[in-house]
Amino acid sequence: MHKFLICLLFLIVGIKAYSQLTVEKHFSDHMVLQRDHPISLSGNALANSQVTLEFGEVHLKTTADSNGKWILQMPAQKAQNTGAPLIIRSKQQQITFENVVIGDVWLLIGQSNMEFALEQEAHFQSEKNSLFNPLLRFYNPSFAGKYVYNRHFKDSLLTRLTPELFYSNVQWQLSDSISAPSMSAVGYYFAREIIASENIPIGLMNLAIGGAPIETFISEKGLKENPEFHHKVSGNWLYNDALPEWIRERGQQNVGKRFIYSDNHGPNHSYKPGFAFTSGIKPLKDFPIRGVLWYQGESNAQEIDRVTEYNMLQKLMVSELRDLYKQPDLPFYYVQLSSIDTLHYKGQLWPEFRNQQRLFLQETKNTGMAVTSDVGAKNDVHPRDKKTVGERLSLWALRDQYHHNITVSGPLVSQVKYRGNQIIIDFTSVGKGLTFKGDRLKGFYVDGRPVEAKIKGNSVLIKVAKKPEEVAYGLASFTRGNLINKQGLPASSFIISLE
């Protein structure tokens, strides 16, 4: 009898939990919903019960299926600055999300320079009295293993290394003195510029992970089905030479001795190929966004094989994101790696890596690149000036998404010609013209040697004794290249071979 009562109790509790009215966890008070896109909301309720939704003048209803699953789709809405309640009801229960607005949602992904908190940023002291902004909203979850370096994870972390539990504290927040300091500084300054220009709500969904390689933000399926990258999901990732050495070392420190969750590709970890995609990005596939901001690369820039494949890897990631969100022209704006001295950091390959990033811009539609070589920190992989970075990203969005007639980038090389013992380097994105900072133009190289150069119109000229094999700009890891346009935006570094 006692066993029967216990079983009955578990059955009742199970039925009650299963019939509980629920909504996907990325919906909460203070959220921003993407304007001009239908919004799907889903969850669970009592099997075959009616579920209704109210939001302003929107009134919808549906019936949960025999398993209790329900889905409702709100029609596309215009921007709405004043918050309103979004109410979901079943016969027995009600869920109310307060202060919901309609605007533009931007997804933030990458590694520590995207994660880099506003309170650590160089301009925070002058910004901290202006943090309250009801049009700016943050979705800024923590993640398992954040700030845990060079040691094995405790059981409390190991148990969270599942796609369902990896991200925690999942809720939307208004920008204020409590929420903003821990938010991505790059994202904050980007959004601040958009709001100042457009006066619409901006939501930032931050899934950045310090130290993460690009491979974790691409699905296992995407890597496996790509003939160039299928070897990245072969065997235990902790010992797979096709992945960056540094991330494998960190993974071995964290989960190499003992783990709880694993599969044929090794223990779960935030650096494991496909893990961030499965844990963070894929669950948001029905939550429309305006675009993606990406700041990543340091973890993939330390070995030449990882550098030369990066352009193609980034193309794969962007293609997958556009397919996932069913937006073939989904905007993708990213940060070119800055400058760093190689004395305290393994940055010898950064010039070639920056060149791969430049090629991606040249070859991939509806993308934009913020050049940051002039705001690098000589001995720190985390430059503290993120205000400049966020503002430069916003230029691309303001021109291409919000239709402002502005210059969005510094000079970008368009072609290099050899003619009569002279190299002619032509540029686009010259704005009001080419110029330079300082007393003379610096940063140009011919066959690896620094050379004198001069500006003529929208070109740079270099005298040579014979036709060289290679012309470059910003070839040093910590570049002192100083070519800019008259709007003050720096030129992208480049490496170009002459035929």
- pLDDT tens per residue, range 204-245: 999 999 999 999 999 999 999 999 999 999 999 999 999 999
Q: Could you give the count of Cα atoms lying within 13 Å of 425 in the half-sphere of its Cβ?
A: 28
Question: Total structural domains in the chain?
Answer: 3
The answer to whether residues 81 and 114 belong to one domain is: no
| CATH code where residue 468 lies | 2.60.40
- Residue 175's Cα: distance from chain center in Å? 19
The answer to whether residues 41 and 166 belong to one domain is: no
Residue 101 near residue 201, CB atoms below 8 Å: yes
- Residue 443's Cα: distance from chain center in Å? 30
Q: Are strands 202-206 and 133-139 parallel, antiparallel or unpaired?
A: parallel
Cα–Cα distance measured from residue 173 to residue 170, given in angstroms and rounded to the nearest whole number: 10
The answer to whether residues 380 and 491 belong to one domain is: no
Averaged over 371-384, what is the pLDDT?
94
Which of 74, 101, 128 delimits the end of a domain?
Answer: 101
**Where do the H-state alpha helices sit in 75-184?**
112-115, 124-127, 155-158
Averaged over 403-426, what is the pLDDT?
97
Report if residue 134 sits inside a domain: yes
Which of 32-36, 114-118, 344-348 is the least confident region?
344-348
Return the residue matching tokens 């239709």. 403
Cα angle at 105 between 100 and 107, to 5 degrees?
130
Give 497's strand partners: 470
DSSP annotation of 9 reads H
The answer to whether residues 109 and 97 belong to one domain is: no
Residue 114 near residue 297, CB atoms below 8 Å: no
The answer to whether residues 382 and 436 belong to one domain is: no
pLDDT at 15 over 90: no
Which of 380, 400, 420 delimits the end of a domain?
Answer: 400
The answer to whether residues 52 and 172 belong to one domain is: no
Q: How confident is the model at residue 80 (pLDDT cuts 50, 70, 90)?
A: very high
The answer to whether residues 175 and 306 belong to one domain is: yes
Residue 294 near residue 109, CB atoms below 8 Å: yes
Which of 374, 400, 426 delimits the end of a domain?
Answer: 400
Name the residue range of residue 444's domain: 412-497
Report if residue 46 sits inside a domain: yes
Residue 429 near residue 486, CB atoms below 8 Å: no
The answer to whether residues 232 and 363 belong to one domain is: yes
Averaged over 143-148, what is the pLDDT?
92
The answer to whether residues 61 and 112 belong to one domain is: no
pLDDT at 9 over 50: no
pLDDT value at position 346? 85
The answer to whether residues 79 and 115 belong to one domain is: no
Q: How many helices (H) and strands (E) does the chain have?
A: 12, 27
Report if residue 407 sits inside a domain: no
Tokens of 169: 């504290």
pLDDT at 10 over 70: no
Distances in Å between the Cα of 219 and the Cα atoms of 223, 317, 367, 378 are 6, 8, 21, 34
Cα–Cα distance measured from residue 206 to residue 111, given in angstroms and rounded to the nearest whole number: 11
pLDDT value at position 11? 40
pLDDT at 249 over 70: yes
The answer to whether residues 70 and 212 belong to one domain is: no
Q: How confident is the model at residue 19 (pLDDT cuts 50, 70, 90)?
A: low
Would you call 183 helix, strand, or coil by DSSP? coil
pLDDT at 5 over 80: no
The answer to whether residues 304 and 378 belong to one domain is: yes
Query: pLDDT higher for 466 or 4?
Result: 466
Report if residue 199 sits inside a domain: yes
Predicted TM-score (pTM) above 0.85:
yes
| CATH code where residue 64 lies | 2.60.40.10
